[in-house]
Structure 1
């Protein structure tokens, strides 16, 4: 019965494969459903290639055969038959070794290929025989041939998964479209302790999830905090419109880890929730720090000493960078210091999932370079005009005048030519307005703090090249010039771009010392450009330095910086809500005021009555108080008069007493003086008398002595 049914299925017209089961009669629908349940045999056959590949499962093992396209079909079918017999023989030999009774040797399998109900002749070459919709019969097993069916040729999950950060698988589809593919995400259940990442090793059956819980769909998945500690699995089915290929399952190597929580860029994302509406364009410029520079001792100990070692690891930083860039919903993204591997394996798959295509320019003899991404729904890439600035200076005739001036100082010239600084130039066309073009430039100038003269020359070369590209390829196209210019707002580079000229006296010409000085007047080939973000306080903040080094320059005559539409709408909505609330409040206030006025009138009448009564009481009280005051005043006056009289009497008495005392004192003094005088006079008299007596006595004695002497 089964053999007859298989033969009948092999003879089904090919048109059944393109019909929908719901549009077919009952019998045909059942047959088509049986046909659709056949295992697929994928055939890859491209014109111009000498080989084709056939892949299918046979006896539980995967067969992958590489054959010549011009080989007859019969040779390949015979090879499949031999492989089938060989596989059965190994299985029976294994059973014999295990002690089971021997079985007969397997007979050669019937291997045929049918198309549109007819068996394909064995002489037909493989390139013509294996057509889409054919049926391959190997013994009793039927395979539905899918020629150049959508297939995943690259499928990888990131090595590091953080909660709250988007997981963007690296996918590459052949014969299909990533936008048509089906994505289903699963989370490992707590009981699933098997760490083998292959579905064969875990014993999972396709279509039946053992140990896994479906948690989402879509190309990008953002793990939640509930996923921390669990691995993730992605089942991706490649498709191209209505055609589908074999699904592929990817299991993460590690479990989801806790993220850093709220990041500084989350606040900025509040202003970029939606894409900019045409004709507005949102542009982002970002130096994402190449891994080769993040792991140096200078970075760890001088530039980022505050940064934990794990935060400088590439896997960790990539998660933050991808989330930040995706959240800006930018139309043009210019990145500097992009590692080759990061561009191909991380950024491009992630940003591709958010609608961005990118191009890369590596620095000569470096592992990092410049990347420019653009939104494919708004722009298409017309041409690229990347250069290495030092090479262009010496090889392109348009820079001959500048080269001649620089050659005056051989030391400076050699220093400039040693630099591998690149300029990435992409000419894009607006898909919403064909014919309108924009020139997007991206660069990362010389880094040394004392290299202002080198940067001036590099910028001179860049501006000249950009002017030449626009004039030759896209006349009239506006310029958007992004990059890490390693130049502060007071530098010569900024002056050259914003003022279109740098005088020969500018200090940057001798920034690296007199031996490398090269004073010249440098003119820009563009009118003054405008820094779209003005001059932020800093775009670079590291140990020992913070300042503005990165810019997005635009031509103000063809582009202008607009306030975000979202911000305007939010402000308008807020103002409308405020006005409505104010009107409601005013109406409520009017009603309240009317009630208040009525109450006030009643209260006023009551207050008037109360005031009249109070006035009467107050008058009575005031009269009583006045009487008391008058009595008190009279008493005080009388007391004052009496006191005055008493004071006068006392004063008179005191004066009399004082006069008497003074008279007595004067009399006493006079008596004392008189006594003194009398005593003095008496003393004088006595002294005089004594003197006379003594003189008399002396005279007497002398007379006596004289008498005696003469006698």
Structure 2
């Protein structure tokens, strides 16, 4: 229909009346009596609704209505006189009826739906935005439509493409104009019996865990907005899932969740922090190195299966803070937050520079208040931020050239504990991966700590909290403990040229120092690796923390190697990523 409306807009000549309606014949006294009757009995006699959608800040308003059984949509400038819109509707109605031109057989009238002027045509010259109000009546010939402005609506529902028995399914709902985003849910099992299909209600909760009875059947889910005003129309939507499978593989996250059976209390002195590279789906394609995982079964590599595993895994860790890497925005909304939001989590993402994947920081809303979030494209800061000018001027020209091509980002999230007002900064990043780029990673890490320190000072200057500010720095640093990045973070300095030579290039004649050295749970015998693939096995992921405020209480160990190697390497049917999560229980130092 967009094309039809485009042709109509380009070709028609407006023939407008001066009395709030368009078309012939003229409105007579009998016509006014008819219109008033429609207004008085709008709920009984209206054929349907004309839905008017007015988004904040938009120059246009969209209108949706059914004509002769077909849904039609019209975009109009919100400040235009409404008579033009009525004329356009009449023209479209004529075309739908088979007339090439607007012949007047479908007079279009907009009347007041309530108040002293109920049943009377709208005054000419009123802009669209003020003419089409809730409860007004639009008449097209003998058909009447009640005007509904911005009704609460479900625009779409997303379910995992792979659904398995025992794996809780969390729907992702896209909606607009829904107060407080409150919905009703109805899950049904679709059963085929003797060639007939019937649906059995299995749950009215938001999330549903398929049972053995569901295996082999599909599920339908209907989501409807909840509105306090029962007279306000609400538009729901239904989606049908893929067939429920019978997952016989015990997922590997249970190796970790056995150590995280419960969340910490909201006023606990302990803080559970998780960092996890979840493996972006884009890296499973041939052009991005997907062939590196040729040992992995295609089903285990499928996004549907991996998302099913991830949606079971993340809630089981009961994290207070969760830092993720290689997060795609759609996956963040449809999978990650769909399973975490119902458990009182909130999060923010930032994509890498010119990349469709990035990082996400997620926190418990029952424990923390969100204060602020700053994001940095590190190469831009390296080249332009005066705070980093001394680093930029001191590194070799080839380092500057290389760093201009790096897309790493830094996310700094400022939170405050509800229980005692203590403030916390969570830093999250993902550094460049090349094995020969340790020097570049060192400079990136140095720049990031400088930015973190400046952010920390600004927070402290504005803070009224009595307890010391805590800092944790998580991420996939793509470096092993023996290299300079880990040395910088845990000792606070790296000597000139220390471990910096790359591909026979000049070393770095610059002493790297940071104001605060960080504590780290790694390396540790119980965590020999965090990345386990057919090409590389080693430790790349870390949780660093300010030792003056935090100390390590517990480090969750990695699974036994025979479990990780069961399907050769990662990812696998047991583990949905080529990385494994690093899970630390930290504890606030008593002041």
TM-score range, shorter chain: 0.7 to 0.9
Of 403, 422, 444 in structure 2, the residue corresponding to residue 458 of structure 1 is 444
Using the TM superposition, give the Cα deviation of residue 233 of structure 1 relative to its aligned residue in structure 2, in angstroms. Answer: 1.9
CA shift, 1:299, in A, is 5.7
Q: Which of 230, 250, 262 matches 2:217?
A: 230
Hey, what does 2:493 align to over in structure 1?
501
**Cα contact 1:184–1:234 (8 A) shared by 2:** yes
Counterpart selection for 1:155 from 151, 154, 157: 157
- Once residues 287 and 477 of structure 1 are traced to their aligned partners in structure 2, the CA distance between those partners, rounded to angstroms, is 27
Q: What is the number of residues matched between the two proteins?
A: 506
1:551 maps to 542
After superposition, the C-alpha distances for 1:567-622 in whole angstroms (9 at most, x for unaligned) are: xxxxxxxxxxxxxxxxxxxxxxxxxxxxxxxxxxxxxxxxxxxxxxxxxxxxxxxx
Aligned with 1:11 (options 31, 40, 55)? 40
Within 5 A, what are the aligned runs for 1:94-133? Answer: 112-116=111-115, 118-123=118-123, 125=126, 126-133=128-135
* Aligned equivalent of 1:537: 528
Q: CA deviation digits over 1:433-478, x for unaligned, max 9?
A: 66x4322111112323343333222221111111011112444632
Query: What is the correspondence of 1:405-416 to structure 2 with a 5 Å cutoff?
Result: 405-407=394-396, 410-416=397-403
Are the equivalent residues in 2 in contact too, given 1:533–1:552 (CA < 8 A)?
no
| Structure 1 residues 346 and 236, CA gap change in structure 2 (3 angstroms) | same
Q: Call closer, same or farther: CA 1:291–1:72 in 2, change over 3 Å.
A: closer
1:295-346 deviations in Å (ceiling 9; x for gaps): 34996665x4542132122232222223212332333221112234433554
Matches of 2:261 and 2:500 in 1, distance apart? Answer: 44
Confirm or deny: 8 A CA contact 2:414 2:425 kept in the other structure.
yes
**Residue matched to 1:217:** 204
Deviations 1:344-373 (A, max 9, x none): 554344544444333222223433222222
5 Å matches for 1:608-687? Answer: none
CA distance in 2, matches of 1:84, 1:256: 45
Could you give the per-residue CA deviations for residues 397-456 of structure 1, whole angstroms, max 9, x where no partner exists? 22233334322xx4444444433222222223445566x432211111232334333322
* Correspondent of 2:54 among 24, 30, 45: 45
Q: Indicate the residue corresponding to 1:336 in structure 2.
A: 325
Superposed CA offset, 1:275-295 (max 9, x none): 432234432211112233333
User: Which residue in 2 is equivalent to 1:523?
Assistant: 513
Conserved? CA contact 1:335–1:483, under 8 Å = yes
Assess, with a 3 A threshold, how the Cα gap between structure 1 residues 111 and 336 changes in structure 2: closer, same or farther.
closer
Q: How much has 1:480 moved relative to structure 2?
A: 1.5
1:238-257 residue pairs with structure 2 within 5 A? 238-242=225-229, 245-252=233-240, 254-257=242-245
For residues 141 and 122 of structure 2, the distance between their equivalents in structure 1, rounded to whole angstroms, comes to: 17
Report SS of the residue matched to 2:279. coil
Alpha carbons of structure 1 residues 423 and 516: separation in structure 2 relative to 1, 3 Å: farther
Q: What CA distance in whole angstroms lies between the structure 2 residues aligned with 1:213 and 1:524? A: 62
Q: Distance in 1 between matches of 2:504 and 2:234?
A: 68
Residues 42 and 145 of structure 1 are in contact (CA less than 8 Å); yes or no, is this contact kept in structure 2? yes
Is 1:445–2:434 an aligned residue pair? no
Q: 1:192 to 1:247 in 2, by over 3 A?
A: farther
Give RMSD over aligned pairs.
3.9
SS at the partner of 2:392? helix
Decide whether aligned partners of structure 1 residues 325 and 120 sit closer, same or farther in structure 2, where only a CA change above 3 A counts.
farther
Aligned equivalents of 1:350, 1:251: Cα separation in 2: 18
Residue of structure 2 in register with 1:479 after alignment? 471
Q: Which runs of 5+ in 2 are unaligned?
A: 1-32, 462-467, 556-591
Q: How much has 1:497 moved relative to structure 2?
A: 1.6
Deviations, residues 149-180 of structure 1 (Å, cap 9, x unaligned):
21223433343333333333332221114641
SS of corresponding position for 1:509: coil
Could you say what secondary structure the match of 1:321 adopts?
helix
Larger Rg: 1
Q: Secondary structure at the match of 2:472?
A: strand
Q: Where does residue 389 of structure 1 map in the other structure?
A: 378
Shift of the 285–212 alpha-carbon distance from structure 1 to 2, 3 Å rule, reads same
Per the alignment, do residues 432 and 121 of structure 1 end up closer, same or farther by CA in structure 2, a change over 3 Å counting?
Answer: farther
3-state SS in 1 of match to 2:518: coil
Q: Indicate the SS of the match to 2:379.
A: helix
Do the aligned partners of 1:237 and 1:245 also contact (CA within 8 Å) in 2? no
Cα distance in 1 for partners of 2:539, 2:378 equals 23
Residue 80 of structure 1 contacts residue 111 of structure 1 at CA under 8 Å; is this kept in 2? no
The 8 Å contact of residues 530 and 555 in structure 1, kept in 2 or not, is answered as no
Unaligned stretches of 5+ residues in structure 1:
13-30, 91-104, 195-209, 565-711
User: Secondary structure in 2 aligned to 1:493?
Assistant: helix
For 2:481, the equivalent position in structure 1 comes to: 489
Maintained 8 Å contact 1:120/1:129? no
The 3 A distance-change label for structure 1 pair 530 and 267 is closer
Q: CA deviation at 1:241?
A: 4.5
Contact 2:412 2:428 in 1 (8 A): yes
SS state at 1:316 partner: helix
Q: Do the aligned partners of 1:111 and 1:138 also contact (CA within 8 Å) in 2? A: no
User: How far has the Cα of 1:62 moved from its partner?
Assistant: 2.9
